[in-house]
Amino acid sequence: MKTIKGPALFLAQFAGDAAPFNSWGAITRWAADCGYKGVQVPTWDARLFDLDKAAESRDWCDSFKGEAAENGIEVTELSTHLQGQLVAVHPAYDAAFDGFAAPHVRGNPRARQAWAVEQVQKAIHASANMGIGAHVTFSGALCWPYVYPWPQRPAGLVETGFDELAARWWPILDYAEEHGVDLCYEIHPGEDLHDGVSFEMFLERVGNHARCNMLYDPSHYVLQAMDYLDNIDIYHERIKMFHVKDAELNPTGRQGVYGGYQSWVNRAGRFRSLGDGQVDFAAVFSKLTQYDFDGWAVVEWECAMKHPEDGAREGAQFVKDHIIRVTERAFDDFADGGTDEAANRAMLGL
């Protein structure tokens, strides 16, 4: 068994225009002060990161990591959630997602997709330049508008959508293989890869690609009423990254999983700061440790009620309290009487 690394913090929800959240040096000092040892970096946020320079220059990457290290922080992974979303966008979401793209490709879905692919590839290259072996992204979605089977879906609609999704991602997965980086899709509603079954449909279509892996986040499974512990048993060989995020699902006679178009705070299913929701993290950390997960436990703060800075500070301690320092010996070694093959055969009457 291996000890999970952490705590780390995903910076996407904290980057801003005010200090200490508006520069790399300041935000890493703040994260360390909160108790974190690592940070996961949103590659789209120019206040913190220059993706072009990171993809082009190992020296720039060394300097970037070095500044963080001076503050006691390690770069755990890079993220292209927003760019990965744009690899596959159903036209119904063109306007909603256009703001994720660079200004020069907005309003042009074909150019936007090409830009998104290039962005993910740059992030893979940057990860390799930084010596980081896993990268997190979203899959995007072509079939999401049809997730509920009403009106009845035409035969072959979903299959065609997943064929196209795989065709778009397979070359990127090959690029990841060339650079020795695992591509970890965050399994997430709004993406075509939103549960285990949909991940398997995609995995089959990319030839069970070795670089096609998962980011595990139990909060997204709670909101879908899935068994998030069984998910680890099933997919542990593909789980290469971990977001520590809490959630709760409290269905009533008025609403359930779909939420009735309500705001986050008024939904039956909502994200919570760590320890305030329903996820059994003692069991989650135990299962991941059992299966030799040795990546980072990365806090992703999303809560409709608690202040983010409170959530961040509490989250660091929460993860520290849940990481299991693995034992180097069996608990019953004191009762080992010592033996050999001859003694074993004698005990068996052989």
User: Where in the chain does DSSP place strands (E)?
Assistant: 5-10, 38-42, 74-80, 134-137, 182-186, 212-216, 239-244, 246-249, 269-272, 296-299
pLDDT tens profile 51-71 = 999 999 999 999 999 999 999
Cα 178 to chain centroid, rounded: 22
Which domains are present in the chain? Answer: 5-347 (3.20.20.150)
| Angular region, 35: left φ>0, alpha ψ -120 to 50, beta rest | left
* Closest to 315 measured CA to CA, from 89, 3, 1, 6: 6
Over residues 171-198, mean pLDDT = 98
Share of the chain above pLDDT 90, in %: 93
Task: Identify the pLDDT of residue 327.
Answer: 78
pLDDT tens profile 291-308 = 999 999 999 999 999 999
> Is residue 339 over pLDDT 60?
yes
Task: Identify the pLDDT of residue 331.
Answer: 61
How far is 31 from 104, CA to CA, in rounded Å?
34
DSSP string for 103-129: GGGTT-HHHHHHHHHHHHHHHHHHHHH
Task: Identify the pLDDT of residue 340.
Answer: 83
